Amino acid sequence: MAHALASRKYNLLLVARSEEELAGISKELSSRWQVKAAYLAIDLSLPEAAAKVYEWCKAGNYPVSVLINNAGYAVWGTFASRSLEEHQQMIRVNAETPVALCHYMLPLLQQQPQSYILNVSSTAAYQAVSTLALYAASKSFILLFSRALRQELKHSNVSVTCLCPGPVKTNFINRASMQAIQATADKYGMMPDTVAAIAIRGMFRKKSEIIPGALNVVSAFLTRLVPKSLVEKIAADLYKTKEK
C-alpha cells in the first residue's frame, strides 16, 4: 500500500514495530518514487500507541490526508487454550488502536480538502470462526465500525472505506503459527501488491467496502444466504487445530 501511494506521489508516514525494517523501506520508497517517507517505530499493541502516533504527526506538522489502518494479526487456537493477554493484545492491534487512530487523526484529516480512511478487515468478518474466534470478531467489529463512521462522515471531506481481503500471501500464516493450512493459503491466496492496488484504487473511488477477488466476493455473499450453522461448520473444519 505504501508503494501504491508513493507511485501516486504521496509522501508517506510509516508506522510499525521494527525500526530497522522501517528504515530500509523508507529508503527504498524515497529512492524509487522520489517521495518523502518518514517513519515511527512503535508497538501498536500498546494502549498509548495511537496517542504517540498523533503527537508525532502534530510535532512534524505533517498534512495528513490518508489514514490506513493495516496492522493486524491472528491468534490461532481454541479460546481457552490461549492466554487472556494474547487475546487482549491482538484485540488492541486489530480493533482498539485503529479506533483510537481514527479518533485522534480525524481532526487532521478534516483540515485537508479531501481525505480518506482505509480500515483493513477480512473476509473472516462475515462469519464466526472457531479457533479464530476473536480474530474474526475483531474484523467484524472493524467492518461495522467503518460502515457506521462512513455514514457519519458522508457529508464531510473524509471518505471511509473498509477492505475485506481473503487469504493474502504475507507473513500472516507464520505469525499465527497456522502452517497446517499453508497449502490452502498458497492455493487461494492473492499477491499483496494486487490486493494493495485494488484497495488504494477503491479507496480513492470512495467505495464503502472492498472485497478483492471474485471467489472472495462470492463466498462473502453466500454467508448471507446459507444458514449460519452451516457456514460456521465449514469455517470450523477449514481452520480446525489438532488440539483436544
CA dist., res. 89 & res. 112, Å (int): 33
pLDDT of residue 186: 67
CA-based nearest residue to 75, from 66, 86, 65, 64: 86
Distance of CA 236 to the CA centre of its chain: 23
Catalytic residue, chosen from 10, 135, 188, 239, is 135
- Number of structural domains the chain divides into: 1
In a domain, 192, yes or no: yes
For the chain, give me the number of helices (H) and strands (E)? 11, 6
Q: Is 163 helix (H, G, I), strand (E, B) or coil?
A: strand
- This prediction has a pTM of 0.90
In the annotation, is 239 catalytic?
no
- DSSP annotation of 40: E
The confidence score (pLDDT) of residue 235 equals: 82
Q: Alpha carbon 15 to chain centroid distance?
A: 13
If you ran DSSP here, which 8-state letter would residue 168 be given? B
**β-pairing verdict for 37-41 and 12-16:** parallel
The reply to whether 217 falls in a domain is yes
Cell numbers standing for residue 71: 496492522
- Kindly state whether residue 45 falls inside one of the protein's structural domains: no
Cα–Cα separations (whole angstroms), residue 24 to 27, 30, 33, 169, 196: 5, 10, 14, 21, 20
CA-nearest of 66, 2, 70 to 36 is: 2
CB atoms near residue 112 (< 10 Å): 14
The residues that bridge with 209 in the sheet, in sequence order, are 162
CATH at 95 = 3.40.50.720
Q: Which is it for strands 209-210 and 66-69: parallel, antiparallel or unpaired?
A: unpaired
Could you tell me the residue range of the domain that residue 227 belongs to? Answer: 67-238
Q: Is residue 27 part of a domain?
A: no
Q: Say what the pLDDT of residue 244 is.
A: 41
pLDDT at 71: 95
Domain contains 4? no
Q: What is the DSSP letter of 234?
A: H
Helix (H, G, I), strand (E, B) or coil at 156: coil
Q: Domain for residue 79, yes or no?
A: yes
Q: Consecutive sets of 10 residues in the chain, 244 residues long: mean pLDDT of each?
A: 97 96 97 98 97 98 97 94 96 98 98 98 95 96 98 98 90 61 67 95 98 90 86 82 53
Q: Are 107 and 63 in contact (CB under 8 A)?
A: no
Residue 60, domain member (yes or no): no
Q: What share of the chain is helix, strand, coil (3-state, %, to 5)?
A: 55, 10, 35
Asked whether residue 187 is domain-assigned, the answer is: yes
